């Protein structure tokens, strides 16, 4: 048996999330179903990064074990499995990796983008949050910089999440102007459940208040998620990239 990384992209609108769930339509369940139809056997997928209901991804990964495939067979299989999948999920590539490679544990970073548009736009409503209030991008970036200084995100993790640690190391955190409004970009070694939405919602709220950096520090120090704001919708959030050491894709 050989191990492969399956690179995917998807529009998350219709799905209950990335990872397979009982009695729910997810990205994993749809891909496993399509692969079962194509290969005529069940293939178990292991995911790299969970995304919640309604969240989109330009890039995410699974890994799976299967018989050795030639590069030409892989190319044909990608085309044929995509023909079975719904139009809002696409397999971008199947990459052979070492037998011990793991799509979750070998990832060194994940990058998310959150999009906001300030003027009503029917073409943005499924991929960007309509937020008709103006915010000072300099203030937002002060808050984003403060986030990059922290490493414990208990206040930005939704309740009833079973994790061993709230430690996350933020590699990048910044706001920029986009064509229709604003975009927040954050990159870290790992993320907690609801964390990016909590950061975005909290920064938007605090940026309109006096002493926003001090208020943000208090939220971090309190270690209480009730002080954060998770109310921004999922459809503005994209998993942009999952990064691995280059050695993962070397099978020599």
Structure tokens at 158: 């939704």
Confidence of residue 26 (pLDDT cuts 50, 70, 90): very high
Q: What percent of the chain has pLDDT over 70?
A: 99
Q: Mean pLDDT across the stretch 211-233?
A: 95
- 12 and 73 housed in the same domain: yes
Does the structure show a pLDDT above 90 at 4? yes
- 138 and 172 housed in the same domain: yes
- 118 and 95 housed in the same domain: no
Q: Mean pLDDT across the stretch 189-193?
A: 95
CATH for 38: 3.30.70.580
Q: Which of 72, 100, 128 is the last residue of a domain?
A: 100
Nearest CA-CA partner of 159 in 228, 230, 222, 225: 225
- 235 and 166 housed in the same domain: yes
Q: Mean pLDDT across the stretch 175-188?
A: 94
Q: What pTM was estimated for this model as a whole?
A: 0.94
Confidence of residue 137 (pLDDT cuts 50, 70, 90): very high
- 92 and 134 housed in the same domain: no
Give me the number of domains the chain comprises: 2
Does the structure show a pLDDT above 90 at 160? no
Range of the domain at 88: 2-100
- 53 and 138 housed in the same domain: no
**Which residues have CB under 8 Å from 221's CB, separation 6+?**
none
Q: Which of 83, 100, 117 is the last residue of a domain?
A: 100
Q: Which of 46, 81, 100 is the last residue of a domain?
A: 100
Residue 58, pLDDT score: 97
Does the structure show a pLDDT above 80 at 252? no
- 175 and 126 housed in the same domain: yes
- 137 and 228 housed in the same domain: yes
Residue 158, pLDDT score: 86
Please report the DSSP string for 163-192 in residue order. Answer: -S--B--EEEEEEEE-SSEEEEEEEES---
Q: Mean pLDDT across the stretch 167-175?
A: 98
- 46 and 83 housed in the same domain: yes
Q: Mean pLDDT across the stretch 66-87?
A: 95
Does the structure show a pLDDT above 80 at 162? no
Helix (H), strand (E) at residue 201: helix 195-206
- 113 and 88 housed in the same domain: no
Confidence of residue 179 (pLDDT cuts 50, 70, 90): confident
Catalytic residues, by residue number, are 52
- The whole-angstrom separation of Cα 52 and Cα 194 is 8
Mean residue pLDDT across the chain: 94
Residue 111, pLDDT score: 98
């Amino acid at each position: 048996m050989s191990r492969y990384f399956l690179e995917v992209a998807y529009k998350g609108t219709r799905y209950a999330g990335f990872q397979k769930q009982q009695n729910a339509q997810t990205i994993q369940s749809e891909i496993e179903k399509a692969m079962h139809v194509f290969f005529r056997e069940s293939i178990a997928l292991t995911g790299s990064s969970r995304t919640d209901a309604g969240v989109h991804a330009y890039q995410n990964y699974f890994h799976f074990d299967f018989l050795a495939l030639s590069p030409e067979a892989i190319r044909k299989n990608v085309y044929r499995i995509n023909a079975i999948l719904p139009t809002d999920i696409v397999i971008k590539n199947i990459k052979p990796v070492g037998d011990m490679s793991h799509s979750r544990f070998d990832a060194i970073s994940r990058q998310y983008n959150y999009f906001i548009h300030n003027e009503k736009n029917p073409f943005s409503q499924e991929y960007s949050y309509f937020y008709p209030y103006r915010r000072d991008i300099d203030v937002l970036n002060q808050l984003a910089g403060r986030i990059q200084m922290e490493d414990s995100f208990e206040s930005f993790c939704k309740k009833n999440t079973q994790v061993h640690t709230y430690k996350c190391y933020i590699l990048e955190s910044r706001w920029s102007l986009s064509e229709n409004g604003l975009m927040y970009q954050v990159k870290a070694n790992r993320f907690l459940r609801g964390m990016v939405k909590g950061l975005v919602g909290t920064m938007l709220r605090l940026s309109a208040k006096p002493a926003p950096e001090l208020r943000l520090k208090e939220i971090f120090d309190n270690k209480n998620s009730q002080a954060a704001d998770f109310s921004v919708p999922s459809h503005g959030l994209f998993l942009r990239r999952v990064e691995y050491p280059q050695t993962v894709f070397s099978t020599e």
